[in-house]
Amino acid sequence: MPFASSLALTRLAQGVSADEAESVREIFDNPTPFTQKSFAVTAATKKKPIAYVQARKIAAQYLAPYVYGEDRFLGGKKAMLVPRDVGLNQFGNLPRNKLKTLKGKPNIFVGTIKFKKSGKTISGIWQRPDNGLRRSGYRGTKGATRGAKTASSVAGTATGLKLLIQFEDTTPAPKHLPFYERARAYVAKHARDEFTTALRQAFETARRGRHR
């Protein structure tokens, strides 16, 4: 019985882990492979007939708000990084080291801009225009924010600045990841079959052992 119990519990946990991965694919739009493989299994043993399914440490931090209905996880960041006019990877996220690359460019700066026309104040990572109206002399402006050949609209104001990434306060997770609900439903549906199969396998193993 201890062997059958530990085997059935471990198989149930493995099934729950696979079902949780499917839930992630259903809830999130094009999740990364890392997120899909977030759920680890700790197998049950004959001495400790308990199997665990839990999200790995890093994934648990940003998935937890979607499970418990909390504000989205910021990690070490002071604000949410919201892409506005910057290239993303195939999963719709900022590429790794993108911030470091941007900050190293001379026409990029991090700051807060207040637009007088709309009264809005926006913080983020900005790009100065490549071609702007420059003063005469040896030194000129790095790029005028007005009068540039190519202007964009930010906060209702035409400007030569381009908002690449906006800094925003965190917000509640917009979706619910039914981690516990899916786990309970899976166990309720498959527990009987898994225990029956494991018990049969235990008897067959014991029978083969007696005939050796």
The more confident residue out of 174 and 159 is 174
Per-residue pLDDT at 15: 97
Per-residue pLDDT at 120: 85
Work out the average pLDDT over 150-162: 72
Per-residue pLDDT at 138: 46
Which tokens go with 19? 């079902």
31 pLDDT exceeds 80? yes
Per-residue pLDDT at 209: 62
Q: Is the pTM of this model over 0.85?
A: no
Work out the average pLDDT over 51-57: 96
pLDDT of 63-119, one tens digit each? 999 999 999 998 877 888 888 888 888 888 888 888 888 888 888 998 898 888 778
pLDDT of 113-155, one tens digit each? 888 877 888 898 899 886 544 555 444 455 455 544 445 677 6
Pairing state between β 121-127 and 39-42 = unpaired
3-state DSSP of 147-212: CCCCCEEECCEEECCEEEEEEECCCECCCCCCHHHHHHHHHHHHHHHHHHHHHHHHHHHHHHHHCC
